[in-house]
Amino acid sequence: MRRAFIASISTAVPPFSIDQAESGEYLLKHYADKLSKRSLTLTRKLFLHPSIMKRHFAIEDPDSFLNEDPDSRIARFTRWSIELSSQATIQVLENVGLSKDAISGLVVNTCTGYICPGIATYLIENLGLERNIRVYDLVGSGCGGAIPNLEVAESLLDSSSDRVIVSVSVEICSATFQMDDDLSLLVSNALFGDGASAAVIWNRAEGLELIASSSYYVPEDRDAIRYVYKNGQLYNHLATNLPHLVKHAVTEVVQSVLEEQSLKIEDIKHWALHTGGEKIINTIKSEIGLSEAQLRATRKVLSEYGNMSSPTVWFVMNKILNEGIEKGDWCIMIAFGAGLSAHSFLLRMA
C-alpha cells in the first residue's frame, strides 16, 4: 500500500502590506460617495474589528488599482500569481534539500483569475522544470481548493521514493476587488488578502502522513458563497447565513473522516482550520467543540494575513508545524468555500 507524506510547507505573500484600520480609512476616502450611511457605518465597524490587524496585497501602492481596467487586472493577476507561486515552490524545495529536477508532478489551484494556459505552465518555464512532468491546473474550488489539490497531488505519487509532487495554491484576491453599496463587497474588502503556498508530497516516511480525506457538497447553496460576473468582472457574493451553512458542511466532513478511522473529536490534538472570518470560526468552534488553544494558529493567521482564500489553510498548517507537533499526533486540515463545499484531510505526524 502506497503511503504519502507532506514533507514540507512554504508560504509567500507580496511585500506590500497595510494596517487594517488604515486600509479602511483609505477605502472610505475614495469610495464614500458610493455608500449609504448604513454602509459607511458598517465599513468603519468591519475595518476596526480586532480579528484582523494587517493584510498583504499584490500591488505597488493602493492607488494602482483604483481605476484598474480588466486587462490591467488580469495582467496583475498573472504576474503576481506566477511570482508568489515561484517563491513558494523554490522555498519548499530548499526546505527539504531537493532540486527542481526531483519534481515529477505539479498541481496548481486558484479561483481569483483565469488564464489559459494555466499558472502551472508558467511555473515550468519560470523555474526550469522538466518538460515531461505531470501538470494539473485546478480552478473554481474557492477558499476550499487546497484540499482537493492535495488529493490530486497524492494520487500522482508512484513507488519511486526519489520523486515528489508539489501542490501549489495561489490567490490574488485583490484582483477581484470591487466596491459598491453591497454587504458582500463590504465584508470581502475587509477580509481578503493575497498569498500563495506550496507543499512537497512524497512517499518517504518523513513528515505528516496523509491518512484520509473527505468532501461534502451542497450545490443548492452555491449562491451563498461564490463569484458572479457583472460586466465581465468578478464580484464576490457572501450570504448572511453563511456561518450556519458552513458549520453543517464542516461537521459532515469532520465526522466522515474520523468515523472512517474510528477516531473521536477528542483524539485530534491539532486543527488547521481555514480562516473564513471571525463569525465562521466561532460557529465551527461551538459546533465541533474546539478549544481556543486549538484555534490559536487559525486566529493568528487571520490576524496577520486575513483570508487569502485557498492558500490560507496551508498558512495555518505551517504555523502549527512551526509551533511543534509530536510524533504520532493527529491533525485535521479543514477548508470550505465555493460549491458550497467543505473538505477535510486527516494527518498524523510520522
Of the chain, the percentage scoring pLDDT greater than 90 comes to: 93
| Residues 203/2, Cβ–Cβ less than 8 Å | yes
| Residue 112 confidence (pLDDT) | 97
| Residue 45 confidence (pLDDT) | 96
What's the chain's average pLDDT? 95
pLDDT at 62 over 90: no
Class for domain 208-349, per CATH?
alpha beta
For every residue of 209-236, DSSP letters joined together read: EEEEEEEEE-GGGGGGEEEEEETTEEEE
pTM above 0.75, yes or no: yes
Helix (H, G, I), strand (E, B) or coil at 113: coil
Residues forming beta bridges with residue 164, ordered by sequence position: 103
Helices (H) and strands (E) in the chain, counts: 10, 13
| Residue 163 confidence (pLDDT) | 79
Continuous segment of H or E residues that includes residue 347: strand 341-349
Three-state SS annotation for 34-55 = HCCHHHHHHHHHHHCCCCCCEE
Which tens digits make up the pLDDT trace of 97-109? 999 999 999 999 9
Which tens digits make up the pLDDT trace of 157-193? 976 667 799 999 999 999 999 999 999 999 999 999 9
Q: How far apart are alpha carbons 173 and 107 in whole angstroms? A: 20
Average pLDDT over residues 276-304: 97
Read off the pLDDT band of 61 (50, 70, 90): confident
| Residues 172/196, Cβ–Cβ less than 8 Å | no
| Residue 65 confidence (pLDDT) | 79
Helix (H, G, I), strand (E, B) or coil at 132: coil
What is the Cβ-side half-sphere exposure of residue 197, based on CA atoms within 13 angstroms? Answer: 26
> Higher-confidence residue: 217 or 60?
217
- 5-202, what's its fold? Peroxisomal Thiolase; Chain A, domain 1 (3.40.47)
Average pLDDT over residues 297-304: 98
Check for a shared fold between 5-202 and 208-349: yes
Q: How far apart are alpha carbons 206 and 194 in whole angstroms? A: 30
Q: What's the alpha-carbon Rg for the chain, to the nearest Å?
A: 19
| Residues 197/9, Cβ–Cβ less than 8 Å | yes
Distances, alpha carbon 350 to alpha carbons 92, 325, 326, 347, in Å? 19, 10, 9, 9
| Residue 158 confidence (pLDDT) | 76
What lies within 8 Å, CB to CB, of 227 at 6+ separation is 111, 142, 176, 234, 235, 236, 237, 338
* Four-residue CA torsion sign, 297, 300, 302, 304: negative
**Residue ranges of the domains in the chain?**
5-202, 208-349
pLDDT at 1 over 70: no
Please calculate the CA angle 35-40-41 and round it to the nearest 5 degrees.
Answer: 150
| Residue 122 confidence (pLDDT) | 97
Average pLDDT over residues 208-219: 97
**1-5, 131-135, 145-149: segment of lowest average pLDDT:** 1-5
Three-state SS annotation for 175-191 = HHCCCCCCHHHHHHHHH
Pairing of strands 194-202, 164-172: antiparallel
Helix (H, G, I), strand (E, B) or coil at 1: coil
- Could you count the other beta carbons within 10 Å of the beta carbon of residue 287? 16
